[in-house]
Copies of this chain bind each other. A is one copy, B any other.
Amino acid sequence: MIIILKQNAAQESIDRLRSVLDKHDVKINEITGAHKNIMGLVGDTSHIDIESLMAQDCVENVQRVQEPYKNANRKFHPEDTVIDCGNVKIGNGSLQIIAGPCSVESEEQIITTAVAVKEAGATMLRGGAFKPRTSPYSFQGLREKGIELLIKARSITGLPIVTEIMSAADIDLFADIDVIQVGARNMQNFELLKALGRVNKPVLLKRGLANTIEELLMSAEYIMSEGNQQVILCERGIRTFETMTRNTFDVSAIPLIKQKSHLPVCADPSHAGGLTSLIEPLSLAAIVAGADALEIEVHNDPRSALSDGGQQLTPARFAEVMEKIKAAAGFMGRSIV
């Protein structure tokens, strides 16, 4: 950690800063510059709050040198983490394809879709039971009933199931779910993250609309610091000024997360673009950029969907896209099992 002192800082304030730092087990190295002085802190600075240093009168700026995440940091855990998700593994060099509808709407809908995506080569089933919608007047999901239907679809197809949680109060309902998803809007719902940190189950953590890669890793850290190390990170597009797409798919996040962290990375081309025509190119881009999994919205009849109709693929189109996905996985030496 580096502390840049203000020009002409009062000695009294510098002494006060020094006494604050003395409470931490760090050594202070000083550099005297022409205009500004600098302190370099050597030792474990992870528990030092930058803001508390910024509040000292003599401090102009404070910069971290070490990453603020530990459990998620590849430096302290060089080998890739592999996560068991029911009968498939994410992070072991394979490519897992999580497909299914935005929302679970009915038994017929989820089972028809599940059978179709399995047929096309998907290895996991997604479907929303609890739905975060911008408008309170939009369909809010079947909730408990939706989870029951997902479990039924799994019993028929054998596909492990991924579904989103919106409140820690509902955790018990997810006891028989294979992977619990945290949506973009809850990426910094810290109470929910802590609760999921005390569960022994994989968590698929989506990047928030306006969250940096470092903040995503810090949210993973919330889960991991409570004990649960089974976190899969998901790039799903960020909010920018561009309006032609729903979000801007930050494909760079995939290789960067894999450099910084040992956790597996999933990509969601459906939400990133918000356009069915982009699902194929964004899926291929994610694969060659290093993604371990893709999450793709497929609906047996998108024109009748109760949510996200405009970005869900038909089973027929999904089957076509899967052919390209399989080829790209082969090109990258990844198997889809």
Given that A241-B239, A242-B212 are known contacts, is A137 also in contact with B289, CB under 8 Å in the complex?
no
19 pairs of residues in contact across A and B, judged by CB atoms under 8 Å: A4-B65, A16-B303, A31-B42, A33-B43, A36-B65, A38-B65, A52-B303, A52-B309, A135-B218, A136-B218, A136-B226, A239-B241, A240-B250, A245-B252, A248-B248, A251-B282, A252-B281, A285-B289, A288-B288
Complex CA gap A273/B240 in Å reads 16
Q: Which B residue sits closest to A328, measured CB to CB?
A: B288
Going nearest first, the 3 A-B pairs with the smallest beta carbon separation are A55-B309, A210-B210, A54-B310
User: Chain A 272-283 against B: per-residue CB contact (8 Å), 1 yes, 0 no?
Assistant: 110001100110
Given contacts A288-B288, A303-B56, contact A239 B210 (CB under 8 A): yes
In the complex, chain B residues whose CB is within 8 Å of the CB of A221:
135-136
In the assembled complex, the CB of A269 is this many whole angstroms from the nearest CB of chain B, namely 9
Nearest Cβ in chain B — how far from A160, in angstroms?
25
The reply to whether B29 and A66 contact each other, CB–CB distance below 8 Å, is no
The size class of the interface chain A forms with chain B is 35 or more
Chain copies in complex: 4
Instruction: For A134, give the chain B residue with the smallest CB separation.
Output: B218
Q: Determine whether the beta carbon of B66 is less than 8 Å from that of A188.
A: no
Q: In the bound complex, do residue B136 and residue A222 qualify as a contact, i.e. CB atoms below 8 Å apart?
A: yes
A137 in complex: contacting residue of B46, B215, B272, CB < 8 Å: B46
Is the pair A312, B55 in contact by a Cβ cutoff of 8 Å?
yes
A190 and B133 in contact, given A33-B42, A213-B242 (Cβ under 8 angstroms)? yes
Q: Shortest distance in angstroms between A317's beta carbon and chain B's nearest beta carbon? A: 12
Q: Given contacts A31-B42, A272-B252, are A51 and B209 in contact (CB under 8 A)?
A: no
- A305:B52 contact, CB within 8 angstroms: yes
Q: Are B278 and A288 interface neighbours, CB within 8 A?
A: no
Write out, one digit per residue, whether chain A residues 227-246 have a CB within 8 A of any chain B CB (1) or not (0).
00000000000111111110
Q: Residues 52-66 of chain A: 1 if any B CB is under 8 Å from the residue's CB, otherwise 0?
A: 111111000001011
Bound complex: CA A328 to CA B284 (Å): 11
Q: Which of A87-95, A107-115, A117-125, A165-173 contacts B (4 or more CB under 8 A)?
A: A165-173
* Shortest distance between the CB of A20 and any CB in chain B (Å): 8
Known contacts A75-B7, A212-B242, A221-B136; A252/B254 CB under 8 A: no
With A55-B310, A169-B168, A250-B242 known to touch, is A31 a contact of B34 (CB < 8 Å)?
no
- Closest Cβ–Cβ distance, residue A214 to chain B (whole Å): 7
